[in-house]
Amino acid sequence: MHEFLVSIVAFIVLIAVMVIVHELGHFIVAKLCRVRVEAFSFGFGPRLFGFKYGETDYKVCLLPLGGFVKMTGEAPEQNLEGTGAEQSSFADDPGAFTSHPRWQRILIGLAGPAANFVLALVMMFFYYGFINEVPSVQVNSTSVEWVVPGSAAAAAGMQTGDVVTSFGGAEKPEWFPQIYARIKLNPGQYVPVTVERGGQSLHLSLLVPAAAKEDGFDISDAGILPQFLPGPIQVTDVAAGTPAAAAGLKGGDGIASVDGHSFHSVTTLIAYLQLGKGKPIDMVVVRNGAEIAMTATPAKLDSGWKIGFSTVPPPYRAQPLSAGPAFKKSLAFTKENSWVVFAMLNRLFTHKASVTQLVGPVGIARVAGEAAEMNGWLPKFNLAGMISLNLGILNLMPFPILDGGMILLLLIESVLRHDISVKVKERIYQAAFVVLMAFFVFVIFNDVSRLPLFSHLRP
């Protein structure tokens, strides 16, 4: 119940900010163009509360799944009201949307998506300029800590110690979001990889597992265990009666190596133990500056092979950047995540990806809840920025009802040099609404089917 409530609250807050900023973009440009705005709404359906100021009704409606700015004469059905002379009333109204030049109407349509791009840029600039959480100790290269034998990475020729200098076209990539995004975007496809090994650059080709399209797929599932931290694995506590306790491991120890492998994270160690399936491991442990050799036999603990010790996440510290570097990083974030959205849309339209990979309101709520409970500010800013970019780009798609559809019709009218019939527009919007609602239902059903509650129904 706690997770559910956190997800719902986080979703409503996130969507409220994204939608209000999007509609505010339309609102501001409409006002600058002297278009009459009748309503500024967060949500759809029955009005819950609000207030009227001037000619605009500012309101909150029942369904918090979006919002809208209603401008006089914008909707085709408004122009069909009445007969004869009454139908031309909006043409004579200087405050009506349709009374303004097409270039102004196009600007109004572009303003909403543009506001979402600006929001993402500003949020990330604020994060990098005033917060910028970094590990107190970190590895500054995209280094491979270990490659799982028999994995896709091993088949590609990747080895422990490789430094990834290019991945799927991204130069000098970071593990997140560049490499992770390109893995998720290419299930079942080959991705070019360049690594630096022993002073030489090697060009490899990684076959991304088909399972990359599934929820929860991680870089490690492709057989790549990234190195994020230097130094040994730090032990904070050892549970009594576990293989670690039997081997003599104690809190405060550092695990320098396991079977000759220099692991630096528990994630890599656990992946190694799963491969061994209970095979004894030889460890070199650092205690009070001295090295101690010990052997442990992993046991099935919880859901996998483990030896039974705990560690704490590495400490983080704030390292705000000056204005120039902060803007550069926020711009890079905006460009990279916009590329991810466009790449995903391209794969959908070219049938290289399935619509089942799309995430709707339920999926966003789940991710928002997880981000809200994560330590630090980066997950929250990252998610908000990505959602804002998604909203901006998707609204630019040339589909009726969306901003891009309205802009497309205006451009067609500009080429034709006359307005498209109001009745034709109404039919287009009605058909688009039915298609959009059907797609919306499908995405929600797909979201719900991926909930842990229904995991036993999936193959």
C-alpha 299, offset from chain centre: 36
| Helix-, strand-, coil-residue percentages of the chain, each rounded to 5 | 50, 20, 30
pLDDT for position 201: 96
Higher pLDDT, 269 or 11: 269
What is the per-residue pLDDT for 124?
Answer: 96
The residue type at 160: T
- Intra-chain end-to-end CA distance of the chain, in Å: 27
296 pLDDT higher than 70: yes
Tokens of 185: 């975007």
Report pLDDT digits (tens) over 49-61: 999 999 999 999 9
397 band by pLDDT with thresholds 50, 70 and 90: very high
Reported confidence tier of residue 88, pLDDT bands at 50, 70, 90: very low
Measure the CA–CA gap between 386 and 127, rounded to whole angstroms: 14
Asked whether the predicted pLDDT for residue 455 surpasses 50, the reply is no
pLDDT band at 459 (very low <50, low <70, confident <90, very high): very low
Instruction: Give the pLDDT of residue 32.
Output: 96
Q: Is 189 left (phi over 0), alpha (psi -120 to 50) or beta?
A: beta
Cα separation, 143 vs 268, in Å, equals 13
What pLDDT sits at residue 1? 59
pTM of the model: 0.80
Give residues with Cβ within 8 angstroms of 19, minimum separation 6: 42, 66, 67, 391
pLDDT attached to residue 76: 64
Write the CATH number of the domain with boundaries 233-314: 2.30.42.10
Residue 108 half-sphere exposure toward CB, CA atoms < 13 A = 26
pLDDT at 457 over 80: no
CA-closest candidate to residue 192, choices 169, 174, 210, 208: 169
Q: Where are the chain's structural domains?
A: 2-128+384-457, 148-223, 233-314
CA 422 remoteness from chain centre: 39
Q: Please give the structure tokens belonging to residue 175.
A: 């593990």
Is the separation of the CB atoms in 320 and 128 below 8 Å?
A: yes
**Residue 222 and residue 216 in contact, taking contact as beta carbons nearer than 8 Å:** no
Residues in the chain: 459
CA atoms of 108 and 302, how far apart (whole Å) = 56
| pLDDT exceeds 50 at position 85 | no
Query: Distance between CA 391 and CA 95 in Å, rounded?
Result: 28
Phi then psi for 320, rounded to 5 degrees?
A: -60, 145
Q: How many CA atoms lie within 13 A of 414 on its CB side?
A: 12
Residues 178, 187: Cα–Cα separation, whole Å: 15
What integer pLDDT is reported at residue 104 of this predicted model?
96
CA distances from 208 to 165, 173, 188 (A): 18, 17, 5
For strands 133-135 and 304-306, give the pairing.
unpaired
Instruction: Kindly report, residue by residue over 95-139, the tens digit of the pLDDT.
Output: 999 889 999 999 999 999 999 999 999 999 999 999 998 877 677
Q: What are phi and psi of 424, to 5 degrees?
A: -65, -45
Query: One fold for both 148-223 and 233-314?
Result: yes
pLDDT higher than 60, residue 86: no
Model pLDDT, residue 384: 93
d(CA 266, CA 47): 52
Q: Which residues contact 170 (CB under 8 A, 6 or more apart)?
A: 178, 179, 182, 336
DSSP 396-420: TSS-TTSHHHHHHHHHHHHHHTSPP
User: Is the pLDDT at 194 greater than 90, yes or no?
Assistant: yes
Query: What pLDDT, on the 0 to 100 scale, is given for residue 84?
Result: 43
CATH of domain 148-223: 2.30.42.10
Burial of 283 (C-beta count, 10 Å sphere; 0-12/13-18/19+): buried
